[in-house]
A = this chain, B = another copy of it.
Amino acid sequence: MSNTELIEEANRKVIDIMLKGEPVLDDIRPAIEVIPKMSKTTILHSGPPILWKDMCKAQQNAIVGGIIYEQLAESPSKAYKIIKRDEVIFSPCHQYSTVGGMTGVITASMPVYVVKNATFGNTAYSNHHEGWPVKALHWGNNDDEVITHLRWLEEILTPVLRSAIKQMKGLKVKKIIAKALQMNDECHSRCTAGTALFVEEIIPYLVMSDIDRKLIRDSLEFLIRSDIFFLHIIMAAIKSVVEPAKGIEYSTIVTTQARNGVEFGIKVSALGDRWFTGPSGQVHGLYLPGYSSKDAGLDIGDSSITEVLGLGGFSIAASPVMAIMKGGTMESAANAMKQMYKITVSKNHQYTIPYLNFEGAPLGIDIRKVVETGLTPIIDTAIAHKNGGLIGSGFARAPLECFEKALKTFKKKYKQ
């Protein structure tokens, strides 16, 4: 077989693995109890590896908040000292089979989703989306209000959701994503339908649970108010689905996209766990009142894993609300997707786009096609303030550089 044939065969295999994955939300447990190698002082963050001193301010703020939440320090100034003395370990979430939204800070006692890929047996993790209070650790806020809400998520929301998930013996995530795509979610920046469908799935069990009714009501009110909540379950589900697609010899397909607000990193199937990075881009879109692009941090978070499976920016025409809210039209959304079809090798027939007469979402980003066309993945994402805080929502493009680096390494490895 020629190299090209070997690549095509390998890419078919990767697509097959991605389509066969069956993510099941199995439990919600403290990170330290379930994530292998997690320790009391491990602090996970989004994106490719980065040193503390190089991190953007939003991510640093979130880490300080994480240290306070873990009661490793009582104040930001004490947290800085601990960091200076190297008493905490930083790692990308991805190195712990985990994905984190925006700043992506996940610490030991934080409850995480345990999502099993029933087809391949592997497990992936993510923490709760903090929902729609204005401030949140994942946006890079870290004050008392944020810490108090994190404790509420841990102490109130988690037992409530866990009760439903344990009773239902696991929640299949794929069918909810598929249905949500047909209800105006692109399943990254908009998860309104996904969250409503999730609520529908859990309530018959919640009603029968022994948990105090007031706590159930408060939890449901939070979920209903926080119509982006389902995103982190989707993210963990996709992480579990793409993980077995790693390490397929000759495959040129992207298995991970993640940003830390400084660098955008990708992994490519044939090249295993190695990161290829380029600079994080600006996010162009809609700002909350009082903010503009000069306040914005750069593209950040592990949520760009959704695009790897054809969701988010790759399914933008599924969500007219998002497409148009962020300054586009249905035509520009369809055109954006046409670009994404050019850099992918397949279509995800499990995830279809109503607006495009139910065509499958573009699936399997091929680094060769990205370099050849110069078209890089579109990420449909939130905008964090450079010092932390949610200030808008828009579109970012992955930098070409990381694809070029990956392709160069690929060619070297396979002597092309």
- A residues within 8 Å of B by Cβ? 182-184, 192-193, 196-197, 199-200, 203-204, 206-208, 213-214, 216-217, 220-221, 224, 320-321, 324, 329-330, 354-358
User: Contact between B199 and A197 (Cβ–Cβ < 8 Å)?
Assistant: no
Partner of A184, one of B184, B200, B206, B213: B184
- Report the bound CA distance from A182 to B190 in whole Å: 12
Assess the A207–B204 pair: CB atoms within 8 A.
Answer: no
In the bound complex, residues from chain B placing their C-beta under 8 Å from that of A217 are: 204, 207-208
A200 touches B196 (CB 8 A): yes
* Closest chain B residue, CB of each to CB of A352: B320
Q: How far is the CA of A182 from the CA of B321 in the complex (A)?
A: 7
With A and B bound together, what is the CA distance between A213 and B329 in angstroms?
46
- Please, which residue of chain B has its CB at the minimum distance from the CB of A184? B183
- Known pairs A199-B199, A206-B207, A324-B357; list 7 more (Cβ under 8 Å): A182-B320, A183-B183, A183-B193, A184-B354, A196-B197, A320-B357, A324-B354
- Closest CB of chain B to A332's CB: distance in Å? 10
A306 to B217, CA, bound (A): 33
Contact in complex: A324, B358 (CB < 8 Å): yes
How far is the CB of A313 from the nearest CB of chain B, in Å?
Answer: 17
Closest to A195 in B: B200
Contact indicator A358/B320 (Cβ below 8 Å)? yes
- Once the chains are docked, how many angstroms separate the CA of A321 from the CA of B179? 10
| A394: min CB distance to chain B, Å | 18
A204 to B222, CA, bound (A): 10
Nearest residue in B to A205 (C-beta to C-beta)?
Answer: B217
In the assembled complex, the Cα of A358 lies from the Cα of B184 at a distance in Å of 13
Q: Which residue of B lies closest to A354 (CB)?
A: B320
Closest to A317 in B: B355
Interchain nearest-CB distance for A324 vs B (Å): 6
Indicate which residue in B200, B213, B330 contacts A357 across the interface (CB closer than 8 Å): B330
* Interface hub of A196, A206, A217 (most chain B Cβ within 10 A): A196
A220 contact from B184, B203, B224, B355, Cβ within 8 A:
B203
Q: A183-B183, A196-B197, A199-B199 are in contact. Are A320 and B355 (CB under 8 A)?
A: yes
Bound: A133/B16 CA distance, A: 37
Report Cα–Cα, A330/B216, bound state, in Å.
Answer: 41
Minimum C-beta distance from A182 to chain B (A): 5
Among candidates B196, B207, B220, B321, residue contacting A354 with C-beta atoms closer than 8 Å: B321
Q: How far is the CA of A184 from the CA of B318 in the complex (A)?
A: 10
Distance of A354 Cα from B329 Cα, bound (Å): 10
The minimal Cβ–Cβ distance linking A164 to chain B, given in whole angstroms, is 12
Q: Is the CB of B199 within 8 A of A207?
A: no
Alpha-carbon gap, A182 to B329, bound state (A): 15
